[in-house]
């Protein structure tokens, strides 16, 4: 068998193998850094004394999903857990508090972007 015409038979095998090898694949371009939203104002749920008495000795976590705009404002707050085992008064208190939260917005590179996050409110009445 004859070597390909561009490679001389008297070249070392290492040179012949390099000539036949595919060129290296360049690394992918670097992605800009991603920064997650950071809470800067986090008011807690407002619980009335009557509500505290009606849920005496309850321990419950309420998970509220929030949509955050480019300015760090909450534009939507909704229950993540199933409503069937979460008292609606606690869900409403947690949702109302979540709407008041403010964030340093998420960023891709230097550009603020919309994001979502789950907030966990722990009730121990």
Q: What is the pLDDT of residues 28-86, one digit of tens each?
A: 888 889 999 999 999 999 888 877 777 667 788 899 999 999 999 999 999 986 656 77
Q: Which domains are assigned to the chain?
A: 32-124 (3.30.1150)
- pLDDT for 101: 98
Compute CA distances 114 → 73, 78, 95, whole Å: 10, 16, 19
- Is this model's pTM higher than 0.75 or not? no
Buried b (16+ CB within 10 A) or exposed e, 54-68: ebeeeebebebbbeb
CA distance 79 to 118: 9
Q: Look at residues 52, 44, 48 and name the one whose alpha carbon lies nearest to residue 98.
A: 44
Which residue would you say has higher pLDDT here, 114 or 59?
114
């Amino acid at each position: 068998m004859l070597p390909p015409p561009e490679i001389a038979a008297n070249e070392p095998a290492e040179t012949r193998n390099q000539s036949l090898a595919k060129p290296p694949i360049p690394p992918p371009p670097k992605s800009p850094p991603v920064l997650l939203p950071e809470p800067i104002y986090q008011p807690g749920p407002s619980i009335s004394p009557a509500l505290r008495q009606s849920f005496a000795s309850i321990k419950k976590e309420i998970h509220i999903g929030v949509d955050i705009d480019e300015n760090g404002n909450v534009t939507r707050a909704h229950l993540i857990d199933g409503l069937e085992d979460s008292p609606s008064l606690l869900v409403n208190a947690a949702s109302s508090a979540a709407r008041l939260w403010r964030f340093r917005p998420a960023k891709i590179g230097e550009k603020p972007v919309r994001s979502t996050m789950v907030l966990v409110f722990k009730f121990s009445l």
